[in-house]
Amino acid sequence: MPYSTIERRKRWEKDQKQTKMIKSDRLLVLTTNQEIWEYLNLLENSGQNIIALDIEGEFNLHCYGEHLCLVQIFDGTRDVIIDPIAHPGLTMLKELFTKRDVLKIMYDSASDAALIQHVLGVRITSILDLRPAVTLLEYSGQSLSFVLDEEFNIAPVNKKKFQRHNWMRRPIPADAIEYAMNDVRMLFQLKDRLLSKLIAENLLDRYILQNLYVQNGQIKNMHKDKHKKAKGYNKLSPNRKKLFSNLFAVRENIARAANMPPNSVFPNKMLLGLCLTGKPGFNSGNSIPGKRVPENLKKELLHNFSKILQNTH
């Protein structure tokens, strides 16, 4: 591979170390805004106005908060990977997601759209979501892996291994990249198969309407009323709900400071127990389940919990 400057070689070597990408002639790794811009121009100049799109994210499973970790694209010829964690500051991602003249084949896009809205502040446009087609055709299973197995006899590889994979960790193993690309490669074929079935069953118009619902529907706010989603919250009395909300907010602040999943700091189940008993039930930070929580944050959590509980009586 020729290099014009020492800097270009150093950058390439850094990218190889960060990503450990699969070596393939059809794999394109975009690492800068300029490269994303050039790729979008390549699509436009070649008359390619449709891509398959998927993303991997982090949702309070391995660290605090929601993060866009990986963008996977298949354009019918090339696998394309964009890694916003290894290469922060990729503002051209907004252009990619909002480009109206590029149709984006996705599957069950609601959570992906919510993450993009939360992280980048933009709404994905021109989505062709295949999930409503699967619903209309009444498949016995609605997951993408089920439909791909049903239609193409393609069983997911290493699904259990990567279902809870930490996509924040770098470098990304080659088998994780392959897993991430497997589904998106099949979306073109799945689109053709599903559209044929919709036409045959006179369901195409209904599908178009359902897909417009996806396009125009309200995107959920990932942080709004998070405490209300906790199991058992709805069974609490109004006063206990207010108490739970206050405890939840304290736990959230500590989790953010520790960069840990909130449930790893202090599980919702235990927060619920505090609400029901009204008693702290602990004397030291050692009783908190989150063993990785720094000692100073443990003490702050206990102090604030105790203060809130005392003020309720």
Indicate the range of 4-8, 123-127, 184-188, 231-235 predicted with least confidence. Answer: 4-8
At residue 13, the pLDDT reads 47
| 192 pLDDT more than 80 | yes
At residue 22, the pLDDT reads 40
Find the mean pLDDT for residues 136-149: 96
Residue 23 pLDDT class (50, 70, 90 cuts): very low
In the CATH scheme, what architecture does the domain 6-216 have?
Answer: 2-Layer Sandwich (3.30)
- Cα angle 118, 16, 70 (rounded to 5 degrees) comes to 20
Mean confidence (pLDDT) of the chain: 88
Same CATH topology for 6-216 and 226-311: the answer is no
| 188 pLDDT more than 80 | yes
| Domain 226-311 CATH class label | mainly alpha
At residue 157, the pLDDT reads 74
Find the mean pLDDT for residues 222-237: 88
The domain locations on the chain are: 6-216, 226-311
Query: Model-level pTM greater than 0.95?
Result: no
pLDDT in tens, 52-93: 999 999 999 999 999 999 999 999 999 999 999 999 999 999
Find the mean pLDDT for residues 255-271: 94
Residue 312 pLDDT class (50, 70, 90 cuts): confident
- DSSP state letters, the chain: ---SSHHHHHHHHHHHHHH-----TTEEEE-SHHHHHHHHHHHHHTT--EEEEEEEEEESSSSSSEEEEEEEEE-SS-EEEE-TTTS---THHHHHHH-TTSEEEESSTHHHHHHHHHHHS----SEEESHHHHHHTT-S--SHHHHHHHHH--PPSSHHHHTT--TTSSSPPHHHHHHHHHHHHTHHHHHHHHHHHHHHTT-HHHHHHHHHHHHHSPPPPTTTTGGGGSTTGGGS-HHHHHHHHHHHHHHHHHHHHHTS-HHHHS-HHHHHHHHHH-----SSGGGSS-TTS-HHHHHHHHHHHHHHHHHT-
Residue 124 pLDDT class (50, 70, 90 cuts): very high
What is the layout of strands, in order, in the sheet containing 127-129?
27-30, 79-82, 66-74, 50-59, 103-106, 127-129
Beta-bridge partner residues of 29: 81
At residue 14, the pLDDT reads 53
At residue 158, the pLDDT reads 73
Residue 291 pLDDT class (50, 70, 90 cuts): confident
Residue 123 pLDDT class (50, 70, 90 cuts): very high
